[in-house]
């Protein structure tokens, strides 16, 4: 097993020199939502330790998806610092991946600037806070934000992006029948509850092109009665792989959001 760990592996278009990856554990080193010297030094040290790839964690794709004032927000203003970060990682011989996501109903109002969005609004026991139901337009805007964040990650020198679709964050909230009580095309059936994830992955893949490897982080079960279980989670992994997402005839984003994608970089 130890010998296997130190053999090369292929992940998308990347060839890792071993099978060790620093996972996306929140660093809390981004005061003002920007890269700090501490974050650069931390990932430089991880890369110098010999991992094949290190993951920069918990980058919000939009202000409405923020939970902490020391959480990274992937926007134009963050790019110069992110370039320094990826350069430091690459100098140590490792690949750099950034985790992108949206907190949904566990966003913090004082940081995100408004009442947090949810698949279905109401009282949030995690907070405790009140949330409101995201409109179709707001869903499409966030799908667009994932695409913009992916293009910014590419501009910042990352080798891969990781879509955060687990652990109770926004995409996971849509998947969960316990949280998602919508009556439209984003709620009800397993297929509908996975629609938001499918649309996000599609936009991320299109925005990544051939330059970035795209991975998705999911949990296999929520751990409470009525939440997502292994069967549905593994079904999503089988049904919505990157190639299948791109080949499906999904409705494209409305024109104004596609325009935002073109003009945001």
Which positions are catalytic? 169
- Report residue 138 CA to chain centroid gap: 17
Residue 132 bridge partners (DSSP):
117
Tokens of 43: 């990932």
Cα–Cα distance between 171 and 140 in angstroms, integer? 13
For residue 197, give Cα distances in angstroms to 109, 138, 166, 239.
24, 14, 11, 11
| 259: Cβ contacts below 8 Å, ≥ 6 apart | none
- The CA angle 33-36-41, to the nearest 5 degrees, is 140
Bridge pairing between strands 213-217 and 160-164: parallel
Cα–Cα distance between 186 and 48 in angstroms, integer? 44
* 197 touches 132 (CB < 8 A): no
Cα–Cα distance between 241 and 95 in angstroms, integer? 22
């Amino acid at each position: 097993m130890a010998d296997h760990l130190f053999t090369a592996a292929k992940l998308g278009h990347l060839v890792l020199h071993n099978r060790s990856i620093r996972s996306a554990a929140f660093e809390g080193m981004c005061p003002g939502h920007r890269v700090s010297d501490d974050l650069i030094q931390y990932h430089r040290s991880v890369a110098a330790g010999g991992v094949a790839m290190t993951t920069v964690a918990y980058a919000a794709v939009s202000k409405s998806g923020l939970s902490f004032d020391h959480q990274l927000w992937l926007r134009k203003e963050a790019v110069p610092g992110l370039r320094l970060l990826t350069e430091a990682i690459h100098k140590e011989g490792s690949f750099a991946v950034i985790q992108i996501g949206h907190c949904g109903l566990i966003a913090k109002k004082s940081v995100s600037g408004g009442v947090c969005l949810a698949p279905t609004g109401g009282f949030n026991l995690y907070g405790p806070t009140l949330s409101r139901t995201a409109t179709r337009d707001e869903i499409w805007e966030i799908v667009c934000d994932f695409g913009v964040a992916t293009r910014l990650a590419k501009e910042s020198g990352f080798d891969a992006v990781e879509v955060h679709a687990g652990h109770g964050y926004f995409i996971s909230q849509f998947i969960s029948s316990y949280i998602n009580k919508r009556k439209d095309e984003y709620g009800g059936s397993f297929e509908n509850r996975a629609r938001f994830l499918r649309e996000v992955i599609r936009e991320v893949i299109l925005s990544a092109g051939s330059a970035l490897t795209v991975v998705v982080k999911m949990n296999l079960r929520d751990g409470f009665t009525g939440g997502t279980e292994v069967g549905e989670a593994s079904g999503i992994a089988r049904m919505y792989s990157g190639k299948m997402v791109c080949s499906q005839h999904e409705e494209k984003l409305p024109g104004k959001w596609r325009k935002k994608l073109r003009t945001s970089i």
